[in-house]
Structure 1
């Protein structure tokens, strides 16, 4: 499980509003000794980098979590619906703490990267569908929908070094602010195996994983030294009390990241940047195994494959060269590298580079809907190439998006979103997309109210107020309680005589 910035059925870190439900889940009577799936109120579901983990965790939550998990999921769904309105299509959460980015505007939940420093500006610019990785049980410091939403790239030449830090590389130095528990480990010693695991006080999945790490430390003893590094903290003064509270559930070396003065979100800590950012690890908990030669032998979720790798290393059966080759050629790393390149271009405002990156992604995988949706958004909202954007959008509505209600809804809302409406609107295209999305979604589907809300907004923008009122009335009737008030406000707006679309 990761705490993220990723995902409904198997997701990211919890939002504070769901902390009670989360704690009930963690403290559930049923012993949870393996992966736990979590969904955040702002996460999109994607089978991208860690799809196997997500599926495994989803099974775990169904089979083992019990009633407490249902309460947690209900809370998250509510948060997702509330956040969807503000976030827009396929949005990425902007809250510094983990939230589901699942938006009712066109993407099921997603997991995200260090949300604190990335996506707010992209969302304000109207970029829809920039999904990171969907990971089950991940908490993102910063903030997935269906397998189709992952930006996946084809296998790369195995000699290509796609990320700054990968399996096979020399481990970065230990640069922590202070150790708050256990042995103070300041450097990696020859012949000693280490696990460097990243967590945060606000990360529910991390809390659930910590006892397992303690068990492994006790089991493996001095053969492996575990170091838990707190990252992405808004308030580092909470770390020591948290460690004290965990007591004998957290018995290994614990340290705080060395964060620059003034960095109120902790996203620029030395360890966070040199390890997590360099390896494109956008969710926590995340762990790195450092072998006896000081090289990264494994990177991943601490409850998904780590113990098996440690056993192989200690038994002298681990093949680092093979692991390095497999990691470099994996779809997960390719996806991370592609997403990272795109994010950098978007964050720097280099629209030409972003479009070039997206064109390449689409050419490599013409059936990748997430890349296609992002390309449409970049052309429309950032480059203002309205005619070209709508021509491309029409191709998507009639082709790739034809049977994808999420993306059809997202496209329609991108065109009519009252907070970020483009200067030139192709309302007929928005109507086609919204109408098709409504045809695809059944009345008892959780997303129905949001789809109807989008369709009503299109009618209103077209000046067909009566149809807008009729459709919005249906949306209010079908909406879950936590969404009704907001949709009712929109309905009241449509009924105001002086207001025009």
Structure 2
């Protein structure tokens, strides 16, 4: 529970790295050497050899981690943009798994990739800094010091630009790192309902937010507002669990009342309940087709999914993508996946790059290559940022290569 707000704001999945017993590290400390079992892509990287020459980005990721996969096009774009930077993606999975994934990614993952040696590098970086969520990147400057760490989709590009321009402020980075620790402590205080600590940390965080810039990705830090947001998210998680376990009506009513009291002013409780109900149908279907549920119910659940109305386009898109790409699916119903992808497309007005990309994939997988190319081009046209456009172009090139055969 400790990191759920940060994860919601940045996008990360949890892993476990035991903190080392040595003195707690801080920004500006020398970067530990990379201990690698095998270099999967690119030349081996020795941080000592980079001193005085290049900046290094040491990023921890995994093939099974959706936020990690989403970060790969961005990291590839950064590697192309910054010629004096070496990006190293390190996984602690087995070598065969990483090699297969990297080979499939091809030029979409165009930076150095390695497999950790007995998790030693992960412990030296992630464990030492008390980080338990991936993807997570560490920046090592030309003096061989760790000067920043965080989510690669966060301030990484800004930090690299500042280092390149000679404008990076290590002291400010230290204060921001201190603020992030206090933010986690603030979350913990709210979870424990420690009023005195909530007030004290809230004042400190508001002051730090004013001094070093926004601590959160999309808003200024307001202690009362963030406190209520954490409480709302806690109650929402409890409510979702109650729905999933078919809790008594009075329990649900009590949770709904608390949600209404804590909810942001634009929160739609009725809409959320509908989405959770829709998600429950898909969850039952997905469990069945991956072999963890009642396979005799697949036909019935397929019909239910097709008959659902008012489903949020993001949910339809997520379901379609899972059915098209998740390797655990034993019964891949391309007709259903295409139906869901088309429903998402129609509901979104064909203006969402991710939804267009999913529909193009459904067309491609059903042999409609020319149409897939058409919709992939539409996805590129409406994409909002260059890393996304680059990833979509890579997919388009695969479709075009198939069309030429």
Higher percent of residues as helix: 2
TM-score by length of 1: 0.40
TM-score by length of 2: 0.48
